[in-house]
Copies of this chain bind each other. A is one copy, B any other.
Amino acid sequence: MNEASHSNVMKSEDTPELRQLYADFEAGHLMPLWTQIDDIMPVVPKPKAVPHVWKWSHLFPLAERSGALVPVGRGGERRAIGLANPGLGGKAYITPTLWAAIQYLGPRETAPEHRHAQNAFRFVVEGEGVWTVVNGDPVRMSRGDLLLTPGWHFHGHHNDTDHPMAWIDGLDIPFSYQNDVGFFEFGADRVTDYATPRFSRGERLWAHPGLRPLSELKDTVSSPLAAYRWENTDKALTEQLLLENEGQPATVEQGHAAIRYVNPTTGGDVMPTIRCEFHRLRVGTITPPRREVGSSVFQVFEGAGTVVLNNIESKLNKGDLFVVPSWVAWSLNAETQFDLFRFSDAPIMERLGFARTQVEGVGR
């Protein structure tokens, strides 16, 4: 790409006439392109969001203190603490498109039901005992599970135990807010069903590999599978590494197993704006630096390692989260077997034709 700097022939001499013209622009709610093109049309993405790591050892105690000081209930709706990207000027946005938060629910607490156009999921890095009730279907939340709350589905949570529980929430709040697409509606103040079944009705209908209920032949925008259980994720990754041992194609690259969570009605992403994946690296694996259009958040699920973001290396342990803004190179280094959950706005980029990937200097 030709990034040569050109002298800007359009930077005119400062004259009274020009000053008057610019004043008249401003009065008329107008702005010239030529004075700002370098900023708003950069040669490559120049995100305001910056790479950043949040330590679980720091997050969890803050969530606990919130549990002690802030009741959960109607109005505030959730005891969720958003991760605010240091580059995004004090908004609770982890990237321009994504929201990530730690949510905390104390013993026997209920977070009331509501629904919104925003798409949401929860991922559980530790604990169990909470059920999320999605359109009336109680869904168990346990370590390693991915739980979906697609746009405009009613949902509330309740803790059925005497111990607290925390997890992460991912939503497209920033994208929805920025583009004015959000709707919100309150539901029941309590959840509509306090049953605590091992498997949700959505799973009982849909979590059978390659089988589709004949009563459900219409494709859905978001996945009808409310829960993706850790047992399945773990098994899929284990098999990929075993197949690699046997010399069979299975992994993304040597030592790097990964799955994408998908909508079984289409084979595509679980929700129209959010992609969810799980990655497992063998001890010693270093992934080649990758740049991608669009932003991602990773959470360490198990193991230890480091990530290099824009040439700065950070140590990672269980529960730690980090953000990769658009076109920032990232590379993982596994000091143990290293398990990471990832979510991103890649479906937005792909559906709108903006996706590009660059691996280790290989062309776009």
Measured CB to CB, the nearest residue on chain B to A215 is B252
Measured CB to CB, the nearest residue on chain B to A4 is B186
**With contacts A177-B40, A209-B206 known, is A186 near B62, CB below 8 A?**
no
Q: A159 interface residue, CB < 8 Å from B? A: no
- B24/A62 in contact, CB under 8 A: yes
- The CA of A242 and the CA of B198, in the complex, are separated in Å by 14
Contact of A45 among B69, B182, B208, B345 (CB under 8 A): B182
Q: Which of A79-87, A302-310, A333-341 contacts B (4 or more CB under 8 A)?
A: A79-87
Q: Which of A10-18, A281-289, A311-319 contacts B (4 or more CB under 8 A)?
A: A10-18
- The CA of A15 and the CA of B66, in the complex, are separated in Å by 13
Which residues of chain B come closer than 8 Å to A176, judged between CB atoms?
Answer: 354
A88 CB to closest chain B CB (Å) equals 10
Q: A73 interface residue, CB < 8 Å from B? A: yes
Contact of A210 among B4, B41, B66, B225 (CB under 8 A): B225
Q: A360 interface residue, CB < 8 Å from B? A: no
A41 CB to closest chain B CB (Å) equals 5
Q: A266 interface residue, CB < 8 Å from B? A: yes
- B29/A96 in contact, CB under 8 A: no
Q: A362 interface residue, CB < 8 Å from B? A: no
Q: A51 interface residue, CB < 8 Å from B? A: no
- The CA of A251 and the CA of B264, in the complex, are separated in Å by 18
- B214/A76 in contact, CB under 8 A: no
Oligomeric state, in number of copies? Answer: 4
Which residues of chain B come closer than 8 Å to A84, judged between CB atoms?
Answer: 29-31
**With contacts A33-B80, A184-B41 known, is A214 near B10, CB below 8 A?**
no
A263 CB to closest chain B CB (Å) equals 8
- B177/A252 in contact, CB under 8 A: no
**With contacts A83-B29, A211-B236, A212-B262 known, is A186 near B21, CB below 8 A?**
no
- The CA of A178 and the CA of B295, in the complex, are separated in Å by 12
- B250/A213 in contact, CB under 8 A: yes
- B209/A208 in contact, CB under 8 A: yes
Which residues of chain B come closer than 8 Å to A36, judged between CB atoms?
Answer: 92
- The CA of A348 and the CA of B235, in the complex, are separated in Å by 36
A314 CB to closest chain B CB (Å) equals 14
Closest A-B pairs by Cβ, 4 of them: A10-B76, A8-B75, A34-B76, A180-B326
Sample of 13 A–B contacts (CB below 8 Å): A6-B75, A10-B77, A15-B69, A21-B65, A31-B82, A31-B92, A34-B80, A179-B349, A209-B264, A215-B250, A215-B252, A221-B353, A272-B353
